[in-house]
């Protein structure tokens, strides 16, 4: 987490998007996390990766899902967002888009580094970053391998704006990790930004979102939140959720 924080902070002068992209790419390279290298395996023993990104100024968003041959899924999510025609691409169509745009591909075997660990991974290690730059611009990026033993083709909350992530420069940026189906059913990321809009501060929004996960759907997870003003906040009901912050 500290390496990812430092990677993002080193680029904060280039804007919030550059910062969150650098942080998430660093985490996609970490074999101990469930994103990119070392991500969990689906029911067929294959890694399928999802990622999402959003800028809060014009509500630009990009998501990619079911990737097997992208070295850094977050790079493709950013490319989809900047292309602007669509918000979400999946599977072979997403890979084709990546090849056409010169995004780094790879052998799917590169993602399997510790099969036993990846078979046991519970899928609560989705990685994410939120940032607010000196101009008040907000951005969020997330990347994940999903949940261990998932059905092939399963897509969780991480590539879906409003569920796993959301950013609006007027109010804040948020993302989550945990049981993706619960985040999807609650549209939790968008709900958190609405609460920021209603005047709640970041710690209260984070705590309330995790409480809702538990009380409404008996689900596990965690969130990170950054508002227009003040320090970032986080909350979780899982055994742990490592977080690193720079201000």
Number of domains in the chain: 1
Whether residue 241 lies inside any domain: the answer is: no
CA distance 109 to 68: 9
Residues 6 or more apart whose Cβ sits within 8 Å of residue 43: 149, 150, 151, 152
The boundaries of the domain holding residue 56 are 2-236
CATH number, position 62:
3.60.20.30
Considering the domain boundaries, does residue 244 fall inside one? Answer: no
The reported pTM is 0.96
Asked, for residue 242, whether it belongs to a domain, the answer is: no
In a domain, 247, yes or no: no
pLDDT digit string (tens) for 76-108?
999 999 999 999 999 999 999 999 999 999 999
Give pLDDT, residue 110.
Answer: 95
Q: Which two tokens stand for residue 201?
A: 């501060």
Contact of 91 with 66, CB cutoff 8 Å: yes
Token digits of residue 75:
């790079």
pLDDT digits (tens, 9 = 90+) for 133-145: 999 999 999 999 9
Identify whether 137 is part of a domain: yes
Strand 127-132 to 49-55 pairing? unpaired
Q: Is residue 182 included in any domain, yes or no? A: yes
In a domain, 123, yes or no: yes
Which amino acids are annotated catalytic?
126
d(Cα 208, Cα 116) in Å, to the nearest integer?
35
pLDDT by 10s per residue, the chain, length 247: 999 999 999 999 999 999 999 999 999 999 989 999 989 999 999 999 999 999 999 999 999 999 999 999 999 999 999 999 999 999 999 999 999 999 999 999 999 988 878 887 754 579 999 999 999 999 999 999 999 999 999 999 999 999 999 999 999 999 999 999 999 999 999 999 999 999 999 999 999 999 999 999 999 999 999 999 999 999 999 999 999 999 9
Tokens of 217: 């759907």
């Amino acid at each position: 987490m500290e390496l990812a924080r430092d990677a993002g902070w080193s680029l904060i002068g280039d804007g919030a998007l550059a910062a969150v992209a650098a942080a998430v790419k660093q985490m996609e390279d970490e074999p101990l996390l469930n994103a990119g290298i070392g991500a969990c395996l689906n029911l067929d023993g294959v890694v399928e990766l999802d990622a999402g990104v959003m800028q809060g100024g014009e509500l630009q968003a990009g998501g990619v899902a079911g990737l097997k041959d992208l070295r850094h899924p977050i790079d493709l999510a950013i490319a989809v967002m900047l292309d602007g025609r669509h918000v979400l691409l999946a599977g072979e169509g997403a890979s084709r888009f990546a090849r056409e745009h010169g995004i780094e591909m790879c052998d799917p075997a590169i993602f399997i580094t510790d099969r036993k660990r990846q078979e046991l991974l519970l899928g609560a290690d989705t990685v994410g970053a939120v940032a607010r730059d000196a101009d008040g611009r907000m951005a969020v990026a997330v990347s994940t391998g999903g949940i261990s033993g998932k059905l092939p083709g399963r897509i969780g909350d991480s590539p879906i704006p409003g569920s796993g992530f959301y950013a609006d420069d007027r109010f804040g940026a948020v993302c989550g990790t945990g049981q993706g189906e619960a985040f999807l059913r609650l549209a939790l990321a968008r709900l958190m930004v609405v609460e920021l809009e209603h005047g709640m501060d970041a710690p209260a929004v984070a705590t309330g979102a995790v409480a809702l996960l538990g009380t409404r759907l008996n689900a596990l997870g965690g969130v990170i939140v950054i508002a227009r003003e003040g320090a970032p906040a986080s909350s979780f009901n899982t055994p742990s959720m490592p977080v690193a912050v720079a201000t």
